[in-house]
Amino acid sequence: MNINNLLSGKTSLNKYVHHLSFNEVAFHVHYWGVMPNHYNTLLHKHSFFEVCFVVDGEGEYIDNNSTYKLQKNTLFLSRPNVLHQIKSEDGLFLLYIGLELIESESNDKWLKIMEQIEECTEIIIDVEERASFSLLWESLLSQASQNDHPFFEEILMNIANSLILSLLERFSPMDADSSNQNISNEETSPILMQAKLYIQDNLSDTLKLSDIAKHLHISSRHLSRLFVKELGVSYSEYVKKERIQKSAMLLKTTNLSIKEISEQTGFKNVHYFTRVFSATVRNPPGNFRTLYTNQEKKTYSEKEKPSLQE
């Protein structure tokens, strides 16, 4: 693997590949990571899945107070809201991806599959040399580093889709075809879909629950119940998540200042934006932008006091 090509590919993926959809399932990719010298992280958690692959090096992975050995060709999974930590004295060469299922765009079969993966206990897998997913990952990064050919984005999307499936297959404890048995196929309510579209189109506004309810001609209480019932989160949690996802995408894909991004995504001020973004993503906006857009960033280590996401 050519490290410079991998790092160049990383920046392109973070610019172009955020939303993946295929066969009635969709994923939001929070970030694509390539880190040739990854040392220590603090004990932390996040609200989405993170899959890491050790290209080279040795270290330890701590998950829910259990410690696992990391070495070349180790694939490991960090599940949502589970405290975990990476340690390495000499540094690990890691490829990693942060992603989550977009439930409103995925069928019940995939909801069940991801629930099963979230509950899986085999989170550390020592894989064979040149495993299929590692070849896909290398191919994806290589293609992403060459952005001057026709169908560039289409090729990236197709390889990325295959990679996601190949990674999830390693941690899926069940046959995918059996997961759709005895599951109802309820559709998202049209009102909730309208509310979500309104939020996405107006993130720079305050987005008060009462204002959106009035716009949709329903009560605030009814709209609030729809979010909890169909998405499993409160209205305010959903809006915050959308603001963070949009701001992360703008940090990775534009040269807008942090102040401009905070304004476009509806945060009160830069200080508040930085605090909320850091608590959710674990990196301040400026550091996040450097980590996923700077091809020269080859070393990562955390030393500060952690600020754990609630």
Question: Can you give the pLDDT at residue 126?
Answer: 94
Question: Can you give the pLDDT at residue 71?
Answer: 97
- C-alpha 43/C-alpha 306 separation (Å) is 7
Mean pLDDT for the stretch of residues 51-60: 97
The percent of residues in the chain predicted with pLDDT above 70, rounded, is: 92
Mean pLDDT for the stretch of residues 49-71: 96
Q: Is the pLDDT assigned to residue 306 strictly greater than 90?
A: no
194-217 burial: b if 16+ Cβ within 10 Å, else e: ebbeebeeebeeebebeebbeebe
Cα 111 to the chain's mean position, in Å? 16
What are residue 114's DSSP bridge partners?
A: none
Do 227 and 235 meet the contact criterion of CB atoms below 8 Å apart? yes
Q: Which two tokens stand for residue 308?
A: 């754990």
Q: Is the pLDDT assigned to residue 26 strictly greater than 70?
A: yes
Which residues of the chain form CATH 1.10.10.60? Answer: 190-291
CATH of 3-182, one of 2.60.120.10, 2.40.110.10, 3.90.1150.10, 3.40.50.410: 2.60.120.10
Average of per-residue pLDDT values in the chain: 89
- What amino acid occupies position 69? K
Mean pLDDT for the stretch of residues 262-277: 94
Q: Is the pLDDT assigned to residue 64 strictly greater than 80?
A: yes
The DSSP secondary structure of 239-265, one letter per residue, reads HHHHHHHHHHHHHHH----HHHHHHHT
15 vs 308 pLDDT, higher one: 15
Mean pLDDT for the stretch of residues 57-82: 96
- What amino acid occupies position 157? M
Lowest mean pLDDT among 57-61, 266-270, 302-306: 302-306
179 vs 172 pLDDT, higher one: 172
Tell me the HSE value of 159 on the side-chain side, using a 13 A CA sphere: 23
CATH code of the domain occupying 190-291? 1.10.10.60
Mean pLDDT for the stretch of residues 118-140: 93
Question: Can you give the pLDDT at residue 180?
Answer: 43
The DSSP call for residue 146 is: -
Q: Is the pLDDT assigned to residue 308 strictly greater than 50?
A: no
Angle formed by the axes of helices 235-253 and 190-201, to 10°?
40
Q: Is the pLDDT assigned to residue 256 strictly greater than 80?
A: yes
pTM given for the model: 0.79
- C-alpha 263/C-alpha 292 separation (Å) is 22
Question: Which pLDDT tens digit goes with each residue over 178-211?
Answer: 444 433 334 568 889 899 999 999 999 999 999 9
Q: Is the pLDDT assigned to residue 231 strictly greater than 50?
A: yes
- C-alpha 202/C-alpha 304 separation (Å) is 35
CA angle (14, 272, 27) in 5-degree steps: 30
- Provide the 10 A C-beta neighbour count for residue 281: 23
Among 37, 42, 32, 79, residue whose Cα is nearest residue 54: 37
What are residue 80's DSSP bridge partners?
A: none
The percent of residues in the chain predicted with pLDDT above 90, rounded, is: 72
Question: Can you give the pLDDT at residue 259?
Answer: 96
Which residues of the chain form CATH 2.60.120.10? Answer: 3-182
Question: Can you give the pLDDT at residue 25?
Answer: 94
Mean pLDDT for the stretch of residues 160-181: 76
